[in-house]
């Protein structure tokens, strides 16, 4: 398997969650309400899986490997765009979590912000994923040797192995502060 394989598999799960978010968003727009627990689950999925786990592999392993390679101007620009898009996803998710927090406290006006942020994520992720799958990942392979590709794949597996511990160490630390 090539290093891009796990990233593309992860994209399929992210697309699945985006489809669920889209369905819940449509329901929320019809009913003028949304289940705050679902929004919490969506935020957790995006933060832990899509951002920390998936984007973490891209930024901390793939992009780091490519950083010192002689990328074309177009590919370097695209890599930088992808990094900016990851930051955009983080900021949108943070704003979603904040709006949901206000919505839980019966701030009805926050529902519009929650649905706006969900709509933004539903529009954002498919385009972002397509850019990576169809354009950037195939191009990235031209800059690495088979040995480097397999080394990245091994780093991806190790990264995943540590993720569950990182997640729940943070959970416990947060609870200890309360």
pLDDT per position as a tens digit, 36-46:
999 999 999 99
Q: For tokens 């920390």, name the residue.
A: 52
Domain spans, the chain? 4-177
pTM for this predicted structure: 0.92
pLDDT at 165: 84
Q: pLDDT value at position 167? A: 80
Residue 158 has what pLDDT?
93
Rounded to an integer, what distance in angstroms lies between the CA atom of residue 169 and that of residue 116? 32
Does domain 4-177 sit in CATH 1.20.1560.10?
no
Q: How far is residue 83's CA from residue 105's CA, in Å, rounded to a whole number?
A: 34
pLDDT tens for 71-118 read 999 999 999 999 999 999 999 999 999 999 999 999 988 999 999 999
Confidence of residue 31 (pLDDT cuts 50, 70, 90): very high
Q: Could you tell me the pLDDT band of residue 164, with boundaries at 50, 70 and 90?
A: confident
Q: What is the pLDDT of residues 109-151, one digit of tens each?
A: 899 999 999 999 999 999 999 999 999 999 999 999 999 999 9
Per DSSP, helices labelled H in the chain are 4-31, 36-44, 56-57, 63-67, 73-104, 110-130, 137-141, 146-177
Q: How much is the average pLDDT of 165-174?
A: 84
pLDDT of residue 163: 83
Average pLDDT, the chain: 95
Name the residue with tokens 């590709």.
149
pLDDT given at position 175: 83
């Amino acid at each position: 398997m090539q290093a891009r394989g796990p990233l593309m598999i992860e994209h399929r799960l992210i697309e699945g969650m985006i489809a669920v978010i889209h369905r819940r968003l449509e329901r929320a727009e019809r009913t003028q309400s949304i289940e705050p627990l679902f929004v919490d689950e969506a935020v957790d999925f995006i933060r832990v899986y899509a951002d920390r786990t998936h984007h973490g592999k891209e930024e901390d392993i793939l992009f780091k490997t490519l950083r010192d390679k002689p990328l074309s101007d177009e590919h370097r620009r695209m890599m930088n765009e992808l990094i900016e898009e990851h930051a955009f996803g983080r900021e949108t998710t943070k704003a979603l979590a904040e709006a949901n927090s206000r919505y839980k406290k019966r701030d009805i006006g926050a529902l519009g912000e929650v649905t706006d942020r969900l709509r933004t994520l539903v529009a954002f992720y498919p385009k972002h994923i397509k850019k990576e799958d169809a354009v950037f990942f195939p191009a990235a392979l031209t800059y690495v040797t088979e040995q480097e590709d397999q080394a990245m794949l091994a780093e991806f597996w190790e990264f995943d192995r540590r993720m569950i511990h990182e997640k729940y160490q943070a959970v416990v630390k947060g609870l200890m502060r309360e």
